[in-house]
Amino acid sequence: MNVQWYPGHMTKAKRQMQEDLKLIDLIIELVDARVPLSSRNPDIDQLGQNKSRLILLNKADLADERQNEAWKEYFQSKGFHVVKVDSRNGAGMKTIQNVIQEACKEKIERDRRRGIKNRPIRAMVAGIPNVGKSTFINTFAGKACAKTGNRPGVTKGKQWIRLNKNVELLDTPGILWPKFEDQEVGIRLAFVGSIKDDILNMEELALKLIDYLKARYTGLLEKRYGISEAGNAVEILGGIAKARGCLKKGEELDYTKASGLLFDDFRGGKIGRITLEWAEQEKN
C-alpha cells in the first residue's frame, strides 16, 4: 500500500501485467468509487484489448450513492460490465458471479462452437495500490475456496483460486500505476489516502477538501462539527480545530492536528458518503 512510483516501478508492473494477461480471459478492474477516474489507469484499456472487462466500483459504501449509479451508467456506456461493491462487508459479491458469465458470454460461446467443454473462465484482479484488491480477493474467494496447484508448462509459478466450476482467479492481483502527471489526480488520490501523507502538506490539502465539501456537499461539515460553513476554508478549519479542542501551547489553534482529524473522519466515512469526481462532468 501507499507505494511511491518511479519509472522503474511502472515498467516492472507493466511487464508483469503483460505476462499475466496472457493467462486470462477476464480483467476484474477495481476502482475507488469516490474517485473512479483518478484511481484508474487508462493504459489498461490498451493492455487489456481482446479481454472481457468488468469494472468494480469498490468502496461504494464510502461514496455518494447517486454518483455510484451515475458512474455505473458512465462505464456501462463505454462498454464495460460494472458492479458496485463493498469488499469489506461483502456487498455486491453475489452479483459478480452472474456478471462474470455475462461478460464472458462470447468466450463461452466460442468454446462451445469449438467443442471445448467445461473450460473455466480465468480472471485476474487489477488496480492501483490501495483500491482494495487484496480485500476483494479475500472476501470474494472466501476461505472455502481451495487453491489449485501450479500447472506445469502453462502457468508456472502461478496460483489459481478456484471460485466454482466455471471461474478461476489468479491469486496475485495486477498492480497498475496511478497517473501522477496530472496534479489534480495526485490531489484526489491524496484525499482518499492512496498517497503517503508524510510527503504532503496536509493543511493545504485540508483547505482544498473543505472548499470541495462546502461547494458540493454543503452542510455536511456543519453537521459533523457543529460549526458554521459561512467563512473561508481557513476559518472553517479553525472552526474544526476549536470544536475539537485542537490547541497548541498558549491556546493557539493547531491547524495540523485539525487537518489530520478531518482526513481521518473523511476517509472513515464519518462526514458522509462523498464522491470527489462527478460523472455528469465526464459525459462525452
> For binding to ligand G4P (CB under 6 A), which residues are involved?
1, 58-59, 61-62, 86-88, 127, 129-135
Least distance from ligand G4P to the Cβ atom of residue 80, Å = 18
Least distance from ligand G4P to the Cβ atom of residue 258, Å = 21
Strand 160-162 and strand 174-175: the pairing is: unpaired
Euclidean distance between CA atoms 106 and 50, whole angstroms: 11
Least distance from ligand G4P to the Cβ atom of residue 135, Å = 3
Least distance from ligand G4P to the Cβ atom of residue 95, Å = 14
For ligand G4P, give the closer residue by CB, 52 or 194: 194
Comparing every residue's Cβ against ligand G4P, the nearest one is: 132
What sections of the chain are H helices per DSSP? 7-21, 43-47, 65-77, 93-103, 105-113, 133-141, 183-191, 202-216, 220-225, 233-243, 255-267
For ligand G4P, give the closer residue by CB, 140 or 255: 140
| Type of residue found at 83 | V
Taking each helix axis from N to C end, the angle separating 255-267 and 202-216, rounded to the nearest 10 degrees, works out to 50
∠ Cα 111 49 40 (to 5°): 125
For ligand G4P, give the closer residue by CB, 9 or 110: 9
Euclidean distance between CA atoms 101 and 105, whole angstroms: 6
For ligand G4P, give the closer residue by CB, 93 or 253: 93
Q: How many angstroms separate the Cα of 264 from the Cα of each of 25, 129, 144, 177, 247? A: 39, 19, 34, 24, 18
Least distance from ligand G4P to the Cβ atom of residue 83, Å = 12
For ligand G4P, give the closer residue by CB, 127 or 239: 127
What are 31's strand-pairing partners?
Answer: 57
Taking each helix axis from N to C end, the angle separating 183-191 and 202-216, rounded to the nearest 10 degrees, works out to 90
Least distance from ligand G4P to the Cβ atom of residue 87, Å = 4
For ligand G4P, give the closer residue by CB, 138 or 232: 138
